[in-house]
Structure 1
Amino acid sequence: MATLKRDKGLDNTLKVMREGYLYTSNQRERLNTNVFETRALGGKSYVVLNGKEAAELFYDNDKIERQGTLPKRVVNTLFGKGAIHTTTGKQHIDRKALFMSLMTEGNLEYVREITRNFWMANTERMERMDEVNVYRESIILLTRVGTRWAGVQAPESEIEQIATDMDIMIDSFKGLGGAFKGYRASKAARKRVEDWLEDQVIKTRKGEIHPPKGTALYEFSRWTDYEGNQMDSRLCAIDLMNTFRPLIAINRFIAYGVLALHKHPEAVEKMKTVKDYPYMFSQEVRRFFPFVPFLPGKTKVEVEVDGVTLPADQLLVLDVYGTTHDPKLWDNPNEFNPERFLTWDGSPFDLIPQGGGDYWTNHRCAGEWITVIIMEETFKYFANKIVYDVPEQDMDVDLNSIPGYVNSGMVISNVRENVDRS
């Protein structure tokens, strides 16, 4: 029986924050092991798992649960109290089915259409700007896309504030359960958005507003659980937000993708000529760049990992970034290579930037299909529909920072429509 190795220290939270996405990989290399124990978030014992087999275990609902494992501050600011991310068992499956009911062919095609149209309509605005910060511009545009897709009424005069509040909430992951600058601002941002959405849920139920059938606002406002109970209006607002908040977080992937187009100019031409290249490029952006660093869970029963026996109630961490950069799973994982997805088998346990496992029964993001669609249409727009300059700036991506960013936000200038007038 193998011995569980440990990163020594009474509480390694500060080390995790200092080393960021590389903490888990650094410790595996130092300890020469694929699984190790660390202490964090007040000295709690966590066992860190990495790789495809670890992901298969992590998403086995008979052996692992997620309820109660997310840091309270992250729940309070990012997901919301009572959100689907905090549920388990029959309750989780019941509410997950509601989320998945939105993933119809029509809804997926609609998000593709509005993404394409909103970017084209935004061209004139960007042409008037001296510089466009892609990170910031994307979160505003994606707020328009997300709210329209969800059937939510978002006045144009409030779009930038809503976008800012969403960004503040998404950024709150950096807290990892401890005190961090901006926690109060994150809670205030969440309250503003929850208040706004709860008001729309209540008005929908009263028949004062009429969102289209099939939209998130329509379906969530009318849904009842397996016992026939309607969701509390506040909880309904929280889960409603969780249908489109992840779409707004795609602004990070968009900034990464525009950076990749700049660093790999051959990709611009392939975007126009190679079948399925926008899909492959989008998947490689999701694999290559830092998004979610790791995810928490807890053993329900005694399990064995790499020859190490773990008891029931052992807290776990699945190393998401390490798995998407595991050389056992990906050839030359630190090389940006969209063509690797020509032969990818579609496994739900290796490409896990938004979680893994089954969409219906696990905590894999229900909006992952929409994420890829939005990315495809966005990168086709930047490659085919506009031309622009890239001024000198800090385009590094700091892997020691959680969450990750292009340091400059990825700035472009002199944007103009790409029209062949010959």
Structure 2
Amino acid sequence: MTNIPEEKTLDSSITLLQEGFPFLHKRMQQFNSDIFKTRLLGEEVICIHGPEAAQVFYDTSKFQRKGAIPKPVQKTLLGEDGVQTMDDVAHRHRKAMFMSLMSKASINHLLAQCDRAWRAYVTKWVNMPEVVLFEDVQEIMCLGACAWAGVPLKPTEVRQRAQDFTAMVDAFGAADMRHYRGRKARSRTESWVGGIIEQVRKKKLHPDENSPLYIVAWHYDTAGKLLSKKMATVELINLLRPIVAIAYYVAFSALALHKHPEYLERLRQPDGRFREMFVQEVRRFYPFAPFLGARVRNEFDWGGNHFKKGKLVLLDVYGMLHDPRLWEKPELFKPERFANWQGSPFDFIPQGGGEFELGHRCAGEWITIEVMKQALGFLVNHISYEVPPQNLYYKLDRMPTYPQSGVIISNIRRI
């Protein structure tokens, strides 16, 4: 057995928060190794990198998700005991519910609702001196997601709900006021969504039987029991919140378009092929998820290293997306790299890897790609605008991150 390189530290939790996204990859480079040990929150952790590591990481005979996600993240971003924390039959059963909502018809319905919201906001924008794109897109995504899900949303509460969904996301890499705001936002959102679930179950609200609201509200677990109101609330939020979070990617798409205007005409092509390449490169190039965690289910050996049962293991997501062994000149923004891309489920993992149906890969990845393509289509084909001087810098030591100005656009006109 080989000795795993080990960071000599009492605890690296504060350093992780200070360094942000590059934390794992930086140490992989320092150790010249795709595996090393460190300590986080008082616990020894093994960190791994690379497609082979990802394939092992998503092997459910070797790893489990139970006990891997810290409670602070569950209390803000994910909700407690949701699908992301489950394993085996229970996970497959719950995941199947999510996957049933990822059909082509369902995604098209979501796109239609988002299209309505985009058009309404464009009408508003042409009469405004400037718009903070990141903030308004949160509202567009919230409107689209709720209309798709069958969740009633009053016009007067759109901004608050969108901000609360975003605050939950914004809290995952923080231990300061952002974390506090995320917890408060989750409390408000769970109270709101829980009330809607209760209305459905008391037959006071009658959503379409194919709607996400109806399907989640009347979902039964593997024991044949109706999900508790609390659990149904968590899972319905797990459908809505990630759609609102696409606003991060839309802001980065606008930033990429501003920095690379040479791609504008190709993005306007009606077949949309280049638009998908551009979207994939945005997902690779700009930071979204720093790493993912799982615990060793059964002891095993891999790569000359021994993994003990219960050990927490982190997969270096950010580092893999910027690894020159996987991506030619990864420091460059090059959508063309996806023209003939033949990747596996284990090398391009901006939202996690593995197989969709049975594994832990993000069920909403298809939605993310299609909603991003639609957003990009509006930016290049439906409006013209200017990008005034502003601070477009994004910090890698902030998780999650986004352009600091929120991407301000002005002089907006319809095309």
TM > 0.5 fold call? yes
Correspondence for 1:416: 413
Correspondence for 1:27: 27
Correspondence for 2:390: 393
The one of 240, 243, 247 aligned to 1:247: 243
Q: Report the AA paired with residue 36 of structure 2.
A: F
Contact kept in structure 2, 1:391 and 1:412, CA below 8 Å: yes
Secondary structure of the residue that 2:268 maps to in structure 1?
A: helix
Cα distance in 2 between the residues matched to 1:104 and 1:69: 29
Cα distance in 1 between the residues matched to 2:74 and 2:330: 32
Correspondence for 1:215: 211
Cα distance in 2 between the residues matched to 1:120 and 1:137: 12
Cα distance in 1 between the residues matched to 2:219 and 2:382: 41
Give 1:301-312 correspondences, 5 Å limit: 301-312=298-309
Correspondence for 1:381: 378
Shift of 1:138: 0.9
Q: Report the AA paired with residue 333 of structure 2.
A: F
Secondary structure of the residue that 1:141 maps to in structure 2?
A: helix
- Point out the more displaced range, 251-260 or 131-140: 131-140
Q: Report the AA paired with residue 144 of structure 1.
A: L
Cα distance in 1 between the residues matched to 2:244 and 2:131: 18
Give 1:148-159 correspondences, 5 Å limit: 148-159=147-158
Give 1:3-152 correspondences, 5 Å limit: 3-41=3-41, 43-152=42-151
Deviations 1:192-249 (A, max 9, x none): 1111111111111222111112111011112212221100111101101101110111
Cα distance in 2 between the residues matched to 1:262 and 1:186: 31
Shift of 1:184: 3.1
Cα distance in 2 between the residues matched to 1:4 and 1:19: 22
Secondary structure of the residue that 1:196 maps to in structure 2?
A: helix
Give 1:336-375 correspondences, 5 Å limit: 336-375=333-372
Secondary structure of the residue that 1:394 maps to in structure 2?
A: coil
Deviations 1:156-188 (A, max 9, x none): 11010001111111111113xxx4224333222
Cα distance in 1 between the residues matched to 2:322 and 2:300: 25
Q: Report the AA paired with residue 243 of structure 1.
A: L
User: Is 1:270 matched with 2:266?
Assistant: yes
- The number of equivalent residue pairs is 414
Shift of 1:114: 2.3
Secondary structure of the residue that 2:172 maps to in structure 1?
A: helix
**Identity across matched positions, percent:** 37
User: Is 1:295 matched with 2:292?
Assistant: yes
Contact kept in structure 1, 2:346 and 2:353, CA below 8 Å: yes
Q: Report the AA paired with residue 326 of structure 1.
A: D
Cα distance in 2 between the residues matched to 1:248 and 1:228: 32
Cα distance in 1 between the residues matched to 2:376 and 2:329: 24
Cα distance in 2 between the residues matched to 1:153 and 1:115: 15
User: Is 1:315 matched with 2:319?
Assistant: no
Shift of 1:117: 2.9
TM-score by length of 1: 0.95
Change (3 A) 1:283 1:33: same
Cα distance in 1 between the residues matched to 2:176 and 2:244: 23
Cα distance in 1 between the residues matched to 2:146 and 2:339: 33
Gap regions ≥5 residues in structure 2: none
Q: Report the AA paired with residue 30 of structure 1.
A: Q
Cα distance in 1 between the residues matched to 2:211 and 2:342: 32
Correspondence for 2:399: 402
Q: Report the AA paired with residue 158 of structure 1.
A: E
Deviations 1:307-354 (A, max 9, x none): 322222221000111111121211111111111111112421111111
Cα distance in 1 between the residues matched to 2:304 and 2:129: 58
RMSD: 1.3
Cα distance in 2 between the residues matched to 1:388 and 1:189: 33
Shift of 1:154: 0.8
- Point out the more displaced range, 241-250 or 357-366: 357-366
- Point out the more displaced range, 125-134 or 298-307: 298-307
Gap regions ≥5 residues in structure 1: none
Cα distance in 2 between the residues matched to 1:52 and 1:381: 35
Contact kept in structure 2, 1:111 and 1:373, CA below 8 Å: no
Cα distance in 2 between the residues matched to 1:304 and 1:115: 47
Secondary structure of the residue that 1:359 maps to in structure 2?
A: coil
User: Is 1:169 matched with 2:168?
Assistant: yes
Contact kept in structure 2, 1:35 and 1:306, CA below 8 Å: no
Change (3 A) 1:399 1:184: closer
Deviations 1:74-124 (A, max 9, x none): 101111112111111211111111111111221111122222332122112
Secondary structure of the residue that 1:249 maps to in structure 2?
A: helix
Q: Report the AA paired with residue 332 of structure 1.
A: K
Secondary structure of the residue that 2:206 maps to in structure 1?
A: coil
Deviations 1:114-166 (A, max 9, x none): 22332122112112222211111111111001111111001111010001111
- Point out the more displaced range, 239-248 or 220-229: 220-229
Q: Report the AA paired with residue 59 of structure 1.
A: Y
User: Is 1:283 matched with 2:268?
Assistant: no
Cα distance in 1 between the residues matched to 2:190 and 2:295: 29
